[in-house]
Amino acid sequence: MPVLVMKFGGTSVANLDRIRRAAKRVGVEVAKGYDVIVIVSAMSGKTNELVGWVNETSPLSDAREYDAVVSSGENVTAGLMALTLQEMDVPARSWQGWQVPVKTNGAHSAARIEEIPTDNITAKFGEGMKVAVVAGFQGISPEGRITTLGRGGSDTTAVAFAAAFDAERCDIYTDVDGVYTTDPRICEKARKLDKISFEEMLELASLGAKVLQTRSVELAMRYKVKLRVLSSFEEQSDAAGTLVCDEEEIMESNVVAGVAYSRDESKVTVMSVADRPGIAAKIFTTLSDAGVNVDMIVQNISEDGRTDMTFSCPQDQVARAENALGAIKGDGGLNFAELVVDPGVAKVSVVGIGMRSQSGVAAKMFRVLSDEGINIKVITTSEIKISVLIDRKYMELAVQALHDAFELDKVA
Ligand code: ADP
Ligand code: ASP
Ligand code: MG
């Protein structure tokens, strides 16, 4: 039997009624002759609640226990989904990550899937089971502890199962009917795309578009998984959604494919450090050892042999960055005057493979922001994206103005 993977996100399993609607959809695919692997998220809001409980109990928590707690939301929905399917006379059972087992590395709270043995589930399909419901987001480490894959990780579970089982398709059911030119929740002119290339989706995801977890797109690209994003709310079960595919399969595209944002960023400046070899290495090794995910970096021109070093990182990691740099101040020649933290920034990015061959996109982006009176604090570029750090209060405005200026509401 051909295998299909269907993943239902938090809002699609938010209550028993939604679980029933999702299960009906699964039933439709079973009736077509598929063996289905259903990946479920926790009910919407559940994972946030669990994270909150952990932080309240133990702010610098043991990451293994963090995973033990936050993975539990998915266990509930997996069991409920299997029960709902059984009530519909569809032979189904649930699997927690460790039962499959979804083998991951030991990087708790951000683990990577290393292997998914297929024999267990395949044997059950052979015995007449039609649906394997698997709890997303979780796995088991080489030490036998429960791991989680990072926020949004059920998408990655889904794609990894599709690759392991050589599934015909991996369908990601969510609360929007596809991938849009930007987040439809902050820009009403956002347009749904029929197709988007892996490269562009990868950039959009890593720059903040949470519709797919970045790692899931990486895996789909590597293992050539046919990946589709669609709504679990539309009545019509064959609404096409968005196909994430190879660049060659897309006939026409705009120079800019989409705009992404990341709201909760901070900018930190290490004031007046010596401008000599080894200083940047010292600062950024220290931050990396402390588990700070540094994103953008700029070094100012130096005066009298001293310079300022600015970097950005997620807002909730600033305290860790301050502690780590504070601890090495004066140590091994790292003298700096002070740390200046700007906690109220956001990152806005434009993405498009057309930028490889067309110049002027950066100039246009900066002009648009300046016309809106928005000051740019830091800039980074790559072959197919340009990102800027701006005051958070202008984030929505910047996204909408860029969406208008690059005419993303129109098909190229
Ligand atoms: P799920 O719980 O189903 O995994 P998520 O909340 O993780 O859903 O992701 C879906 C959300 O992603 C949408 O509700 C939307 O607000 C947001 N989003 C951000 N950027 C985009 C985009 N470019 N296209 C579609 N959705 C986007
Ligand atoms: N429940 C997890 C989260 O909210 C994983 C997921 O939904 O993808 O991050
Ligand atoms: Mg998600």
What's the pTM? Answer: 0.93
By alpha-carbon position, which residue is closest to atom 8 of ligand 2? 152
pLDDT of 412: 74
Structural domains in the chain, sorted by start: 3-175 (3.40.1160.10)
CA proximity to 43, closest of 13, 4, 86: 13
Helix (H, G, I), strand (E, B) or coil at 359: coil
pLDDT at site 253: 76
CA distances in angstroms from 406 to 46, 60, 76, 380, 393, listed in the order given: 37, 44, 44, 19, 22
| pLDDT at residue 59, as a whole number | 75
> Residue 236: its pLDDT value, please?
55
Sign of the dihedral defined by the CA atoms of residues 373, 374, 377, 380, in that order: negative
Asked if 232 contacts 175 with a C-beta cutoff of 8 angstroms, the reply is yes
Amino acid at 401: A
pLDDT at 332: 65
8 A C-beta contact, residue 133 and residue 93: yes
User: What is the CA(82)–ligand 1 centre distance, in A?
Assistant: 25
Amino acid at 39: I
Confirm if 125 and 35 have CB atoms less than 8 A apart.
yes
Cα 79 to chain center, whole Å?
A: 25
The residue behind tokens 């990015």 is 349
What secondary structure does DSSP assign to 18-54, as a single string? HHHHHHHHHHHHHHTT-EEEEEE-PPTTHHHHHHHHH
Amino acid (one-letter) located at 3: V
Q: Probe ligand 2: pick from 69, 137, 175, max atoms within 8 Å of CB?
A: 137
pLDDT (0 to 100) of residue 300: 86
pLDDT at 409: 94
First to last CA, the chain: 40
Per residue in 266-300, pLDDT (tens digit) is 999 999 998 889 899 999 999 999 989 999 999 98
Can you list the residues of the chain whose pLDDT is less than 70? 235-238, 332-333
Most ligand 2 atoms within 8 A of CB, residue of 18, 41, 109 to mutate: 41
* Nearest Cα to Cα of residue 179 among 241, 270, 268, 238: 241
Which residues touch 46 (CB under 8 Å, ≥6 apart)?
10, 73, 76
Which pLDDT tens digit goes with each residue over 52-90?
Answer: 999 999 877 789 999 999 999 999 999 999 999 999 999
Q: Is the dihedral of CA 207, 213, 217, 222 positive or negative?
A: positive
Q: Which atom of ligand 2 is nearest to the CA of 10?
A: 7
Q: 265, 295 in Cβ contact below 8 A?
A: yes
Quick one: residue 269, left, alpha or beta (phi over 0 = left, psi -120 to 50 = alpha)?
beta
- What strands, in cross-sheet order, belong to the sheet with 385-391? 297-299, 306-314, 258-274, 339-351, 385-391, 378-382
For residue 65 the two structure tokens come to 């226990």
Those residues whose beta carbon sits under 5 angstroms from the ion ligand 3 are 9, 152
CA distance 85 to 131: 8
Predicted pLDDT at 411? 86
- Residues with C-beta less than 6 Å from any ligand 1 atom: 9-12, 41, 152, 174-176, 179-180, 182-185, 204, 209-211, 258
Q: Which two tokens stand for residue 293?
A: 């995910």
